[in-house]
C-alpha cells in the first residue's frame, strides 16, 4: 500500500493560490459567529436541546442515512418520498449537495489513504479534517468527476436540481430562516413580551442552526480524520480506517469506520454487540413500521477478520463501495439483504 506523502513547505505554499473561498468563507464566518452562543440572552435550554436533536434529525437521518447509507451505498430500500425526505434533511446540514457528497465519498472508498483519496489524514490531521474542503481540487469537481462517481444520483432530476444553481444551499437558507420566527411565535404563544420572544427566537437560531451546523460539520469531518488515525480495527481492510468509539458516540454510529470500510454496503456500522449504532437502530424501527426494507446485513470474508490470538489473518484487498451503475460493479454484493 502506498500512503500519501506529508506535504512539504513548497506544497503548502502552492496551496495558497488555490484556496476555495466559497467554502472557506462560510466556514470562517460560521466559526467567527460562534461566540454569539455565549451571549446570555441568546441562551435557552430549548436552544441547547436543539443541538443533539438537530444532530439526530439533520445529521444522523439526513447525512448518515440519506447521503451516506442510502444514496452512496444503497444499504436499504424505501419509498421515493422517504428517500427524498432523508436527503433534504441532509441538505440542511450544509455539507454540499447530495450528488457531490456521494461522488467524493465513493472516491474515498475506492482510494482510501492512497492517492487520490480526497481527504486522507495521513497527509496531516488538519488536511483530512477540513483542509481538503477549502482547497480547489480539479480531481473532485466537474462533470467528469460527478459522472464517474455519482451518475446514478445525478440521473435523478430531483438531485440534479438540488445541485443546479446551488439549490441545496438555498434549501439550507430556507430551513434556517424558520427558526427565528418559529421561536418568536412560540414565545408570544407562551404570553411573553415581544423582546422576550425575540431573544428566544434568537436562541433557537444561534443554537439550533449555527451551533448545530458547525457541530455536525466537525463530527462528520472527524469520521474522515480521527477514524482514519486513532482507534482499533476489527478487519484488515488494506487502509488505515479505525473504529473510534468517541466519533461513533458523537455521530450516532458512523465512527465504527473500520467496520464500514470492511462492509461498505452494510446498513449497520456496529458489528459487535457493544458497538452502538443509533442510526442503524432508527432503520430497524423504520423497517418494523414497513417503511424500509431489503436492509443489507454485514458480511465480511473470514480472511479479513483480525483475530485476537494465535491465529493471524491473511491479508486481502478491499471491497469497493460503488453501486453497480458506477465503474466498479462488485460493491453491491458485499452483504446479504434481510
Q: Cβ distance 289 to 114 under 8 Å? A: no
> Cα–Cα distance between 234 and 308 in angstroms, integer?
9
Q: Is 254 helix (H, G, I), strand (E, B) or coil?
A: coil
Nearer to Zn ion, 46 or 328 (CB): 328
> Cα–Cα distance between 117 and 332 in angstroms, integer?
21
> Cα–Cα distance between 96 and 119 in angstroms, integer?
15
> Cα–Cα distance between 322 and 74 in angstroms, integer?
9
Residues 24-63 that bind Zn ion (CB under 5 A): none
Nearer to Zn ion, 114 or 196 (CB): 114
User: Which cell is 326 given?
Assistant: 458506477
The minimum distance between CB 273 and Zn ion, in angstroms, equals: 22
Nearer to Zn ion, 241 or 252 (CB): 241
Sort residue 298 into left (φ over 0), alpha (ψ -120 to 50) or beta: beta
Select from 8-16, 29-37, 96-104, 241-249 the region that touches Zn ion (CB under 5 A). Answer: 241-249
Q: Cβ distance 118 to 132 under 8 Å? A: yes
Nearer to Zn ion, 89 or 102 (CB): 102
Distances (CA, A) of 46 to 76, 183, 209: 34, 10, 13
**What are phi and psi for residue 135, nearest 5 degrees?**
-120, 135
Select from 76-84, 180-188, 202-210, 233-241 the region that touches Zn ion (CB under 5 A). Answer: 233-241
The minimum distance between CB 268 and Zn ion, in angstroms, equals: 13
Select from 2-10, 75-83, 237-245, 326-334 the region that touches Zn ion (CB under 5 A). Answer: 237-245
The minimum distance between CB 188 and Zn ion, in angstroms, equals: 44
The minimum distance between CB 162 and Zn ion, in angstroms, equals: 20
Nearer to Zn ion, 44 or 120 (CB): 120
Nearer to Zn ion, 55 or 241 (CB): 241
Q: Cβ distance 243 to 258 under 8 Å? A: yes
Give the total of residues touching Zn ion (CB under 5 A): 1
The minimum distance between CB 254 and Zn ion, in angstroms, equals: 9
The minimum distance between CB 321 and Zn ion, in angstroms, equals: 5
Contact positions vs Zn ion (CB under 5 A): 241
Amino acid at each position: 500500500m502506498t500512503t500519501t506523502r506529508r506535504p512539504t513547505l513548497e506544497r503548502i505554499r502552492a496551496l495558497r493560490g488555490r484556496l476555495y473561498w466559497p467554502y472557506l468563507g462560510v466556514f470562517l464566518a460560521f466559526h467567527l459567529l460562534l461566540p454569539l452562543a455565549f451571549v446570555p440572552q441568546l441562551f435557552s435550554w430549548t436552544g441547547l436541546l436543539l443541538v443533539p436533536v438537530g444532530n439526530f434529525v439533520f445529521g444522523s437521518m439526513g447525512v448518515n442515512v440519506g447521503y451516506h447509507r442510502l444514496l452512496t451505498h444503497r444499504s436499504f430500500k424505501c419509498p421515493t418520498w422517504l428517500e427524498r425526505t432523508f436527503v433534504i434533511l441532509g441538505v440542511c446540514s450544509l455539507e454540499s449537495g447530495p450528488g457531490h457528497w456521494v461522488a467524493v465519498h465513493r472516491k474515498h472508498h475506492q482510494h482510501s489513504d492512497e492517492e487520490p483519496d480526497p481527504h486522507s489524514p495521513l497527509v496531516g490531521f488538519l488536511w483530512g479534517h477540513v483542509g481538503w474542503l477549502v482547497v480547489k481540487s480539479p480531481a473532485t469537481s466537474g462533470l467528469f468527476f460527478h459522472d464517474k462517481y455519482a451518475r446514478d444520483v445525478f440521473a435523478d432530476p430531483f438531485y440534479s436540481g438540488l445541485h443546479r444553481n446551488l439549490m441545496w444551499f438555498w434549501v439550507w437558507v430556507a430551513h434556517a430562516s424558520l427558526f427565528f420566527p418559529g421561536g418568536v411565535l412560540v414565545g408570544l404563544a407562551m404570553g411573553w413580551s415581544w423582546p422576550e420572544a425575540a431573544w428566544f427566537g434568537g436562541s433557537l437560531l444561534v443554537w439550533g442552526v449555527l451551533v448545530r451546523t458547525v457541530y455536525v460539520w466537525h463530527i462528520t469531518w472527524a469520521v474522515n480524520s480521527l477514524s482514519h488515525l486513532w482507534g482499533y480495527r476489527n478487519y484488515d481492510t488494506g487502509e488505515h480506517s479505525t473504529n473510534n468509539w468517541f466519533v461513533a458516540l458523537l455521530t450516532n454510529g458512523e465512527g465504527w469506520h473500520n467496520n464500514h470500510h470492511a462492509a461498505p454496503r452494510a446498513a449497520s456500522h456496529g458489528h459487535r454487540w457493544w458497538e452502538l449504532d443509533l442510526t442503524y437502530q432508527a432503520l430497524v424501527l423504520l423497517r418494523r413500521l414497513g417503511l424500509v426494507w431489503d436492509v443489507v446485513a454485514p458480511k465480511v470474508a473470514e480472511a479479513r477478520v483480525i483475530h485476537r490470538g494465535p491465529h493471524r489473518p491473511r491479508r486481502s484487498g478491499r471491497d469497493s463501495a460503488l453501486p453497480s451503475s458506477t465503474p466498479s460493479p462488485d460493491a453491491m454484493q458485499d452483504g446479504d439483504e434481510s
